């Protein structure tokens, strides 16, 4: 399975979460796994991509702004957000974008 999310034809939305962590895990990995599983169950969720080397970047894809808002207000996700501010993040920024065009290359399909 590819680490690149399989998204539908645009338009759709991307939430880009960029962060710098505090020292230590403090159960971050457990919560990150839980949030990924929970997000995948939310209506409108399309996929996710994530990488961390110094700066962490997670991009989640959604079919609507309403789906993004519902995810932001999810009770368990709210608890994770508060824990992130208290324990896990030195700094973070969230950006919400409308994807109007995408294209791809896959050597396996050539």
Q: Check residues 54 and 74 and name the one with the higher pLDDT.
A: 74
Average of per-residue pLDDT across 71-94: 96
For the segment(s) 18-100, the CATH number from 3.40.50.620, 3.30.70.100, 3.40.50.1370, 3.40.50.1820 is: 3.30.70.100
Distances (CA, A) of 10 to 3, 7, 39: 19, 8, 20
Are the C-beta atoms of 23 and 110 separated by less than 8 Å? no
Q: What is residue 2's predicted lDDT score, i.e. its pLDDT? A: 65
Question: Crossing angle for the helix pair 75-83 and 65-72, nearest 10 degrees?
Answer: 70
Q: How far apart are CA 20 and CA 53, in angstroms?
A: 10
Are the C-beta atoms of 7 and 46 separated by less than 8 Å? yes
**pTM to 2 decimals?**
0.92
Q: What is residue 80's predicted lDDT score, i.e. its pLDDT? A: 96
Neighbours of 15 (CB within 10 A): 19
Burial category of 68 from C-beta neighbours within 10 Å (exposed 0-12, middle 13-18, buried 19 and up): buried
């Amino acid at each position: 399975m590819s680490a690149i999310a399989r998204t539908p034809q645009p338009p759709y939305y991307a939430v880009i979460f960029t962060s710098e962590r505090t020292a230590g895990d403090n159960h971050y990995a457990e919560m990150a796994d839980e949030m990924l599983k929970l997000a995948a169950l939310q209506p409108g969720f399309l996929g996710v991509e994530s990488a961390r080397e110094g700066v962490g970047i997670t991009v989640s894809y959604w079919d609507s702004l309403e789906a993004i808002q519902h995810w932001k207000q999810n009770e368990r996700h709210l608890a994770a957000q508060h824990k992130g501010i208290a324990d896990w993040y030195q700094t973070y920024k969230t950006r919400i974008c409308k994807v109007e065009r995408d294209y791809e290359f896959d050597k396996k399909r050539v």
